[in-house]
Chain A
Amino acid sequence: MENITLSLPSKAEYVSVARLTASVIANNMGFNIEEVEDIKVAVGEACNNAVLHGKCDQDRFNLNFVIDGQIFMVEVRDTGNGFDFEEYTEPDLMNPRENGLGLFIMKSLMDEVEVTSTVEDGTCIKMVKNVVEI
């Protein structure tokens, strides 16, 4: 099992750094092109949330990648104000809104998505994808 940790400023221009890192890790694990892209997109969306909901510019957000054989896991943590599940509703795809697609996309592309969020500690988005043996 390997751990890879990345700590980035909570600024939009650094999300691409996280996406690229996720792509390389996933590629090295043997995911196919489409799966690597899925992971890249999902990680990007999780990081978008961290940047958008963080408290301020001086904040940082963290990624912890865990590679365990055929299992890719990543936790994206921010120290923002938390995410209120009461307010989250699944997007109505016939009436698209400008916001709220990120979580839906993550859940569509990854095998598991778990969001833990408190006002005191911020938000952690944990996602898992399994390498599929053909």
Chain B
Amino acid sequence: MKKSYEDQDQSWHVDIMGEVDIHTSGNLKDALNNLLNEKETSIKINCDKLIYIDSTGLGVLIGVLKRVKKNENDIFIQGAQSNISKLLNITGLDKIFIMSE
């Protein structure tokens, strides 16, 4: 579902691939929190291979955002496909995460 490494921009870089739904969102939550347990930095998420996310997945991202915000960090979302962008837009999350192509 994802791989990660820290880069010279002092943040975790993560690729989320495939589908994140009620069945798999718990894994995503654990994986992201484990990264932050190692180092509390911003997280840059590459979504170009993410084909589906549901409200439980969005909930995980919101929860993680609250954690990174405590350290004045952010979540960056990059490369979201049109269906994912649409969901982030209708939920207003595209104003809360930092979006880029």
Q: Can you list 5 A-B pairs, Cβ within 8 angstroms, ordered by A?
A: A48-B21, A48-B55, A93-B95, A96-B92, A99-B59
Given contacts A98-B59, A99-B59, contact A48 B87 (CB under 8 A): no
Given contacts A40-B52, A105-B55, A105-B87, 8 further A-B contacts (CB under 8 A): A34-B86, A45-B54, A93-B91, A93-B92, A94-B92, A96-B91, A97-B59, A99-B59
**Is chain A's binding surface mostly helix, strand, loop or mixed?**
helix
Interface residue total, chain B, C-beta cutoff 8 A:
23
Partner of B23, one of A12, A37, A97: A12
Contact surface of B with A, Cβ cutoff 8 Å: 19, 21-23, 52, 54-56, 58-60, 62-63, 82-83, 86-87, 90-93, 95-96
**Is chain B's binding surface mostly helix, strand, loop or mixed?**
helix
Interface residues of A in 85-126 (CB under 8 A from B): 91, 93-94, 96-99, 101-102, 104-105, 108-109
CB distance from A42 to the nearest CB of B (A): 10
Contact surface of A with B, Cβ cutoff 8 Å: 12-13, 15-16, 34, 37, 40-41, 44-45, 48, 51-52, 91, 93-94, 96-99, 101-102, 104-105, 108-109
